[in-house]
Amino acid sequence: MCLLMSLLVVASAGLRAAPKVEDSIAQRVQACTGCHGREGRAASDGYYPRIAGKPAGYLYHQLLNFREGRRHYVPMVRLIAPLSPAYLQEMAAHFAALDVPYPAPQPSTASAETLRHGEALALRGDSARRIPACVQCHGPALTGLAPAIPGLLGLPRDYLNAQLGAWKAGNRRAHAPDCMAQIAQALTPADVGALSQWLASQALPAQTKAVDALAAPLPMPCGSVTPTPP
Partner 1 sequence: MKRTLWVALGAVPAIALLLGAVTLALNLRDEDPLTETPAPAPAPAGQVARGEYLARAGNCMGCHTARGGEPYAGGRGIATPFGTVYSSNLTPDESTGIGGWSQAHFWRALHNGRSRDGRLLYPAFPYTSYTLVTRQDADAIHAYLRSLKPVAQPNRPHDLRFPFNTQAALGVWRALYFSPGRPVNVATRSDEWNRGAYLVQGLGHCNACHGHRNVLGATGGTLDLSGGLIPMQNWYAPSLSDPHEAGMTNWPPQQIADLLKDGVSAQASVLGPMAEVVASSTQHLSDADLHAMGVYLSTLPLAPNGEEPRGDPAVFERGTKLYADHCAGCHGEQGEGVAGMYPALAGNRAVSLASPANLVRVVLEGGFAPSTAGNPRPYGMPPFATVLNQADIAAVLTYVRGAWGNQGSAVPEVEVNRYR
Give the binding site for partner 1 (CB under 8 A).
15-19, 21, 23, 25, 27-35, 67-70, 75, 77-84, 86-87, 90
**Beta carbon of residue 9, minimum distance to partner 1 (angstroms, whole number):** 14
Q: Output 30 or 111, the one with its CB closest to partner 1.
A: 30
Q: Is 79 exposed, middle or buried (0-12, 13-18, 19+ CB in 10 A)?
A: middle
Task: Report phi then psi at 149, rounded to 5.
Answer: -110, 125
Q: Output 31 or 186, the one with its CB closest to partner 1.
A: 31
Rg (CA), the chain: 21
**Beta carbon of residue 33, minimum distance to partner 1 (angstroms, whole number):** 7
**Beta carbon of residue 172, minimum distance to partner 1 (angstroms, whole number):** 13
Q: Is 66 strand, coil or helix?
A: helix
Whole-angstrom Cα distance, residue 225 to residue 59? 12
* Backbone region of residue 51 per phi and psi (left: phi > 0; alpha: psi in -120 to 50; beta: other values): alpha
**Beta carbon of residue 83, minimum distance to partner 1 (angstroms, whole number):** 5
Whole-angstrom Cα distance, residue 3 to residue 24? 41
Whole-angstrom Cα distance, residue 116 to residue 198? 8
Q: Which amino acid is at 157?
A: R
Peptide bond between residue 85 and the one before it cis (omega within 30 degrees of 0): no
**Beta carbon of residue 91, minimum distance to partner 1 (angstroms, whole number):** 9
**Beta carbon of residue 130, minimum distance to partner 1 (angstroms, whole number):** 28
Q: Output 86 or 213, the one with its CB closest to partner 1.
A: 86
Peptide bond between residue 177 and the one before it cis (omega within 30 degrees of 0): yes
Q: Output 93 or 123, the one with its CB closest to partner 1.
A: 93
Q: Output 124 or 159, the one with its CB closest to partner 1.
A: 159
Q: Output 32 or 153, the one with its CB closest to partner 1.
A: 32
